[in-house]
Amino acid sequence: MNPASPDQPRRRVLFLRNPRARNGDQQAELARQGLTAAGLEIVEEVTAEADCFREAVDRMRKQVDVVVVGGGDGTINAAAPALIGLGVPLGVLPMGTANDLARSLAIPQALEEACQVIAQGQERAIDIGMVNGHYFFNAAGVGLSGEVTRKLDREGKRRWGVLSYAKATLDAWRESDVFAAHIRVNGEEMFVKSLQIMVGNGRHYGGGMTIAEDATIDDGLLNVYSIEPVPLLRLAGIAPLLRRGSHDRSDAVMVVSTQELELVTDRPIPVNADGEMVGTTPARFSVVPGALRVLVPLDYAERRKEMVGAAAL
């Protein structure tokens, strides 16, 4: 997709954004300027409600060339039901706190550059995860991650940005409870005691953490890990491995890759998906390969190799 020349019609984009996004009004103005400068005509819808996203997409899908979602991962997750089977590609503008989907797609964090991806990028099919009927792009899980989600408040994210995740993680660990779980995966059943079980569809989650060294959002796989109960000092030692996706090197972390997984815990435990609470265990996870077309940088394949290669170092 290239910017329109003077003798070509301007391409139209449906720009969906969440007014609650961090620095939302300022970011929205930068996004409008960037999209307009890239030669795109904007139809804007502002809402934080998933039903309103669906209504806007259904109303405009035949009148636009791209649906652009501006916001964080929670906003894009809320829009997911309206995006599947869309018929036009999705453009992502990273206007939230963590922007993990944008990281997985190698989309620049700078809005001006992200707008250029929407104008000039290539289409690529990506996978989407499902847990108990709810979509997720990045990761879903139980345990410590759920506690972190509950402790992350809007004001803290606005004030501290990505650092709010570190504080919420420490606070959550202090109050965390060990749980027992049966995991049915790849025809086998495993029993674990865990602080956290994460199931990743994309590459990044939780403010730049990496679900696995070789994970990508278009590999047709879910990457799973479980952290056994460990003292805080040892958990702090595992944290850098989680950041790089090399936690399979720790004997306190169980890892597996699969397309489907069933999780049964010793008590109902809240399940979070892309930072949103979506029910409790038991939970069934699956991946839908190639479910959505998105716009990515022209050199996405090279960036994808670089991401995987750098993590393995």
Q: How many CA atoms lie within 13 A of 138 on its CB side?
A: 29
Residue in 45, 112, 228, 276 annotated catalytic: 276
261 and 224 in contact (C-beta within 8 Å)?
A: yes
Where residue 80 falls (left for φ over 0; alpha for ψ -120 to 50; beta otherwise) is alpha
Q: State yes or no: is 276 an active-site residue.
A: yes
Residues 6+ away with beta carbon under 8 Å from 231: none
Cα–Cα distance list, 15 to 27, 57, 68, 216, 312 (Å): 13, 10, 5, 26, 37
Residues 138, 113: contact at Cβ < 8 Å?
no
How many Cα atoms are found within 13 Å in the side-chain-facing hemisphere of 230? 16
Half-sphere exposure of 132 (CA within 13 A, CB side): 15
Q: Which residues are catalytic?
A: 276
